[in-house]
């Protein structure tokens, strides 16, 4: 079991999905409930970083909450909350990646422990997955500056921080549920045990 805490970011707008991704039906429960159950078998402690709006529902899930007070919808706000409130450098993961496995987290942690980077994230040949990785609070001053300047692109943060990545062969495990089409495909995968 990984002692480093895991923070699930679920404070986004889900604008492309058209409804709150975290509350989508998935694997016999909500997507968020599915992830919590999965991650509680991998991590000693799981946190949710969310907006106030859904707190009453999230409180029933039995995990600690980090509540974003900002009206801004950006993963940077959730990342800032996690780094300000947790003493241990957390794993950050977005709520829309249901196919990650323990081996992915272990490989990222191994790389993090071997290097001196302040960020270690997942990457495939197709895409950089900045919201799957370990972040240290050393990035907080730069993060605050980016937020203040309304520069919310994660790639912009990564470019100016001491960052490294783990290259994974397959994009399949890192699939995001951004649209209804993504969601339908993910439901098929779950049904077929993939």
Q: Give the domain CATH number at 12.
A: 3.90.550.10
State mean pLDDT over 88-115: 96
pLDDT band at 146 (very low <50, low <70, confident <90, very high): very high
22 inside domain: yes
1 inside domain: no
Q: How many domains does the chain have?
A: 1
96 inside domain: yes
159 inside domain: yes
Could you tell me which residues come within 8 angstroms of residue 77 by beta carbon, excluding any fewer than 6 positions away?
A: 11, 68, 70, 147
Q: Could you give the C-alpha distances from 78 to 74, 107, 167, 191, in angstroms and in order?
A: 7, 23, 25, 31
What are the pLDDT digits (tens) for 117-142? 999 999 999 999 999 999 999 999 99
Domain containing residue 149: 6-191
% of the chain residues with pLDDT over 70: 95
165 inside domain: yes
106 inside domain: yes
What are the pLDDT digits (tens) for 67-96? 988 888 899 999 999 999 999 999 999 999
For residue 193, pLDDT beyond 80? no
């Amino acid at each position: 079991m990984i002692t480093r805490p895991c923070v699930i970011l679920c404070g986004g707008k889900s604008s492309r999905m058209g409804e709150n991704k975290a509350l989508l039906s998935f694997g016999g429960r909500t997507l968020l409930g599915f992830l919590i159950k999965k991650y509680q078998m991998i991590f000693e402690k799981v946190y949710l970083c969310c907006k106030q709006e859904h707190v009453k529902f999230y409180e029933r899930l039995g995990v600690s909450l980090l509540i974003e007070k900002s009206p801004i919808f950006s993963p940077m706000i959730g990342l800032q909350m996690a780094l300000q409130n947790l003493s241990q450098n957390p794993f950050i993961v977005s709520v829309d990646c249901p196919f990650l496995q323990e081996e992915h987290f272990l490989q990222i942690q191994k790389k993090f422990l071997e290097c001196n980077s302040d960020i270690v994230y997942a990457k495939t040949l197709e895409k950089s997955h900045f919201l799957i990785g370990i972040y240290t609070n050393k990035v907080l001053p730069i993060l605050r500056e980016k937020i203040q300047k309304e520069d919310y692109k994660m790639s912009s943060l990564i470019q100016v921080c001491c960052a490294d990545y783990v290259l994974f062969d397959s994009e399949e495990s890192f699939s995001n549920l951004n649209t209804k089409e993504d969601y339908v495909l993910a439901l098929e995968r779950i049904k077929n045990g993939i």
